[in-house]
Amino acid sequence: MLCCVRTRLAIAGAIVGSVCALGLLAMRLLPSLAAAEIGPISSSSLGVPSPAAMVSQSERPQAAAAQNPVYDVLADESVGAFDWLPPGPSRCTRRDRRRYCDGPLRAPRPHGVAAARALRLGLGTRQAWFRALSVEAPVAEWLAAIPSGELTDTLLWPVTEGFLGRGFGQRLHGDPKATPHPGVDIPAAAHSRVRAAADGLVVYASDGRHGYGNVVMLLHRTGYVTVYAHCSALLVFPGQLVERGARIAEVGKTGLAHGNHLHFEWRRRGHARSPLRRLVERPDHATEAQLANLQRARRREAEARLAELRARAERNAARRARRAAQHAPTSPSSP
């Protein structure tokens, strides 16, 4: 009997040993495979996720993935090491006598499994943006791509160092003819972290929507959509699955924005709704007041700097004009 048990233990040990050896071999091979698959998207290469792409997802060194490998958002530590897309033109335009630019684009180059997913599901395009904001039910395949997890209707306050600025539905300058605000504005310092309000799928991440600047749109399992606009940089690309709280962008003032802030929308079947009652982990009242004071001080400082630069430019222009007048050839005296 004892002999039989020993034999079984020996067989089990041998199996475990083989599995470990295979695991070690795989770990050695994976980095080279992962490095090989990162690159520009091409329709020919991304029709079906390649085994190498699958490897990339499991190999990516990220905290979120370590806890929950179904989410493939890039890790904070990889910020700065992105292969960025070319910035492209800023596409400036005017609205209400104000000039604004939707770019320059600052977004990582799509790659791997997420890029293949985006291609398969038709994400990241203008059509995807409008489809996600249409009154029709969300695309079933898009919803199916989001891993099942805890279903919650609460939304995480998207900028930890931000406070509530312009509220939902508020018309600009109280003008009754102005369009009601479809979201909330959260002013914060430039490049503050923007986090995902809930688990979701990146439907759009680019600068192609007028006035929004660099913008991310997420679809959540509840069928709701969240939008994060005016960002200075996007840290995700279409097709990626993001976990609640994951860093997805940085605060900026691209698009139709007066200062650095996040314009945050929460929509269902195209209709914007007030997210305020659902937002959790928002800074308390005193902290928000402090943040607002800090932001005002920053704005005053920036305005003073701008006024000084303008005054210096005017002084220089006047000096150049005086010099030009001194060195101008005197006109010949009339006979």
The answer to whether the beta carbons of residues 195 and 246 sit under 8 Å apart is yes
Residues 157-216 that bind Zn ion (CB under 5 A): 185
Closest residue to Zn ion, based on beta-carbon distance: 263
- Which one of 56-64, 88-96, 136-144, 256-264 is the stretch in contact with Zn ion (CB under 5 A)? 256-264
Encoding tokens for residue 56? 């990339």
Q: Please state the closest distance from residue 41 (CB atom) to Zn ion, in A.
A: 31
In angstroms, the Cα distances linking 145 to 118, 223, 272 are 10, 12, 24
What is the secondary structure of 177-246 as a DSSP string?
A: TSPPPSSEEEE--TT-EEE-SSSEEEEEEES-STTT-EEEEEE-TTSEEEEEEEESEE---TT-EE-TT-
The answer to whether the beta carbons of residues 254 and 146 sit under 8 Å apart is no
Q: Please state the closest distance from residue 31 (CB atom) to Zn ion, in A.
A: 43
Q: Please state the closest distance from residue 256 (CB atom) to Zn ion, in A.
A: 8
Closest CA relative to residue 139, chosen from 114, 115, 116, 120 = 120
d(CA 205, CA 40): 16
Which residue's CB is nearer to Zn ion, number 185 or number 250?
A: 185
d(CA 225, CA 9): 53
Residue 265, interface with Zn ion (CB under 5 A)?
A: no
Q: Please state the closest distance from residue 324 (CB atom) to Zn ion, in A.
A: 46
Q: Tell which one of 263, 265, 275, 282 touches Zn ion (CB under 5 A).
A: 263
The number of residues that bind Zn ion (CB under 5 A) is: 2
Residue 230, interface with Zn ion (CB under 5 A)?
A: no
Compute the residue count for the chain: 335
Which residue's CB is nearer to Zn ion, number 209 or number 263?
A: 263
Encoding tokens for residue 131? 């489809």
Q: What is the DSSP letter of 108?
A: B
Closest CA relative to residue 284, chosen from 193, 165, 164 = 164
Which residue's CB is nearer to Zn ion, number 187 or number 238?
A: 187
Q: Please state the closest distance from residue 262 (CB atom) to Zn ion, in A.
A: 8
Q: Please state the closest distance from residue 183 (CB atom) to Zn ion, in A.
A: 5
Which residue's CB is nearer to Zn ion, number 218 or number 272?
A: 272
d(CA 181, CA 229): 13
The residue assigned the tokens 């150049």 is 320
Which residue's CB is nearer to Zn ion, number 102 or number 185?
A: 185
- Which one of 112-120, 152-160, 263-271, 305-313 is the stretch in contact with Zn ion (CB under 5 A)? 263-271
Which residue's CB is nearer to Zn ion, number 205 or number 256?
A: 256
Which residue's CB is nearer to Zn ion, number 166 or number 191?
A: 166
Q: Please state the closest distance from residue 189 (CB atom) to Zn ion, in A.
A: 17
The residue assigned the tokens 């290469």 is 45
- Which one of 60-68, 192-200, 242-250, 261-269 is the stretch in contact with Zn ion (CB under 5 A)? 261-269
Q: Please state the closest distance from residue 64 (CB atom) to Zn ion, in A.
A: 28
The answer to whether the beta carbons of residues 264 and 246 sit under 8 Å apart is no
Residue 267, interface with Zn ion (CB under 5 A)?
A: no
Note the residues at the interface with Zn ion (CB under 5 A).
Answer: 185, 263
